[in-house]
Amino acid sequence: MAVRKLRMIAPVLGCLTLAAAGCGDDAMDANVVARVGDYELTVDDVVTLLADEERLPTESAIVESLLELWIDYTLLAEATQEDSTYGQLEIEDLVRQRIDQEMILALRDSVIQVDTFITPEELSSLYATESPEVELRARHIMMNFPIEATPAQQDSVRNTLEQLRNRIIVGARFEDLARQFSQDPGSAAEGGDLGFFARGDMVQPFEEAVLALQPGEVSGVVESPMGLHLIRLEERRVQDFDEVAPAFRLRVQQQRNAAAESTFVAGLEGPAGLQIAEGAFDVARELARNPSTTLAGRAARRPLVSWDAGDYSAGELLEMLQFEQPSLRDRVSVSTDEELEDFLLDLGRRDLLVTEARVSGLDPAPARVDSLTSEVRGQLLAATQALGLRDLDLAPGEEMEVAVQRAVLAALADNLSGATRIVPLGLVGFQLRERVPIAVNAAGVGQALLSVGQIRAGRSPSPIENTPETAAPAPDSVR
């Protein structure tokens, strides 16, 4: 589920600058929206994909997000046809984050010894001092900001959710709107139902909003790292101690482990003397706004956080921003100096721990690195298979480029209809983009928006605007 505390790598898409006539050397025809090498996405292609998807507003951010996916899928399909082992990619870069995390966990297990044995009597006493364990059941409607969203685009998403909330106020069914508009693939089909969950299962902003509700009440727009939400609390129940004892024991053990880890990290950080470099905050914001930036030489090595035996560089931050969720880049780009200080120091501490693990001889065995590398290659092949981009059926006399284009458009149509999920490419997308010239045509984007808008205008009003006039107001059900 989109708001549970699980690490998710969402699609990390490159940032392309739209120019009046194009971004490459060759001017593009007004009917072309984007070009990747010899492939072109046309206005007609975009209209075919979006005209019937009326849950998506007619905004440039939607077209831009679609063409970003088209770019990634086209490059992935072409790379797969060229070499299904992906020898053209630096797979080691893709597994470095995983390797670092495994080294940190190995370090923790080797140096941190915590007494996590808890007697039944002690556990019962601890439970009695805390609030009774509450289980909550809620529904939500989630929407994401467009990639590299401007303030105006963010306001547009908020306004859309506010309009949906107004519809609920006058009697529209929350479940129906969740099925139609929610962008959480894990719950939309269930009317936004998240089932029962306990405290600590959801990210903090979401949990705080749910706890503030009474059953039947609907929140205002809530922002979390996963997106924006409307939330309705369905049910609140208190569990007996015997029912929650195993989960509560695990939570107490995790808290003790976390406290011991904090003490260990503080012991490393103090002597090392972590310091934020001058200008680091501005560099971090700029890289978050432009994750497709290429850094080399001194620019890549520029320290953002330094300590007595090492540093965390701009190049490392850029790779991490490319690897992680777009929502993280959005937050970094608008963070205050105080927020960025905490963020960068955390990254420095992580690097410090990796260094300590390496000094302690905890590097993974070559066989483990090979296994992770093979796993990534397998995931890429599975992704192309799921999207229908792996084994292309060529019609008699059909060129491979034509088959790739046809398959990519079919994959996008399935994504938009909900038949398949968007496949995250992460750092792969950025590596693939370095291989070919890419151009986006602002005139083509504008023409596509105009055409989609004209087609929709000839139909019935938007579902968001079409508020039922006969529905009885139910103000008591909405906070």
Beta carbons of 292 and 15 less than 8 angstroms apart = yes
- For the CA atoms of 278, 280, 286, 288, the dihedral, rounded to the nearest 10 degrees, stands at -170
List Cα–Cα distances, 101 to 107, 314, 377, 455, in angstroms. Answer: 10, 20, 20, 50
Q: What is the pLDDT of residue 77?
A: 92
Q: Say how far apart CA 167 and CA 52 lie, in whole Å.
A: 22
CA 332 to chain CA centroid, nearest Å: 14
Q: Which of 179, 214, 243 is the last residue of a domain?
A: 243
Q: Which of 215, 243, 271 is the last residue of a domain?
A: 243
- The runs of H, that is alpha helices, within 308-426 are 314-323, 326-333, 337-359, 366-387, 400-417
Side-chain-facing half-sphere of 268: CA atoms under 13 Å: 24
Answer whether residue 27 is part of any domain. Answer: yes
Domain assignment of residue 206, given as a range: 120-243
Helix (H, G, I), strand (E, B) or coil at 41: strand
Answer whether residue 230 is part of any domain. Answer: yes
Q: What is the pLDDT of residue 5?
A: 35
List Cα–Cα distances, 194 to 184, 198, 204, 222, in angstroms. Answer: 10, 11, 16, 16
Note whether 77 and 126 are same-domain residues: no
Q: What is the pLDDT of residue 133?
A: 64
Q: What is the pLDDT of residue 358?
A: 92
Beta carbons of 237 and 243 less than 8 angstroms apart = no
Token pair in block for residue 200: 């600590």
Q: Which of 243, 259, 293 is the last residue of a domain?
A: 243
Q: Say how far apart CA 425 and CA 70 lie, in whole Å.
A: 12
Q: What is the pLDDT of residue 472?
A: 34
Token pair in block for residue 285: 């914001």
By CB neighbour count within 10 A (0-12 exposed, 13-18 middle, 19+ buried), where does 64 fall? buried
Answer whether residue 272 is part of any domain. Answer: no
Counting the structural domains of the chain, the total is 2
Q: What is the pLDDT of residue 103?
A: 92
Q: What is the pLDDT of residue 18?
A: 35
Answer whether residue 72 is part of any domain. Answer: yes
Q: Say how far apart CA 121 and CA 1 lie, in whole Å.
A: 35
Note whether 163 and 234 are same-domain residues: yes
Kindly report the backbone phi and psi dihedral angles of residue 198, in degrees, each rounded to the nearest multiple of 5, phi listed first: -105, 170
Answer whether residue 380 is part of any domain. Answer: no
Question: Left if phi > 0, otherwise alpha if psi is -120 to 50, otherwise beta: which for 466?
Answer: beta
Q: Can you give the CATH number for the domain in which 177 is found?
A: 3.10.50.40
Kindly report the backbone phi and psi dihedral angles of residue 262, in degrees, each rounded to the nearest multiple of 5, phi listed first: -60, -40
Query: For the chain, which residues score pLDDT lower than 50?
Result: 1-25, 463-465, 467-479
Token pair in block for residue 357: 């693990």
Percentage of residues of the chain with pLDDT beyond 90: 39
Token pair in block for residue 349: 């501490």
Buried b (16+ CB within 10 A) or exposed e, 168-204: bbbebebeebbbebbbbeebbeebbbbeebbeebbee
- Convert the pLDDT of each residue in 400-445 to its tens digit: 999 999 999 999 999 888 888 888 777 787 788 878 888 889 999 9
Q: What is the pLDDT of residue 326?
A: 72
Does this model's pTM top 0.75? no
**Cα angle for residues 306, 322, 89 (degrees, 5° grid):** 110
Helix (H, G, I), strand (E, B) or coil at 167: helix
Q: What is the pLDDT of residue 471?
A: 37
Q: What is the pLDDT of residue 129?
A: 75
Note whether 19 and 67 are same-domain residues: yes
Token pair in block for residue 30: 């007004």
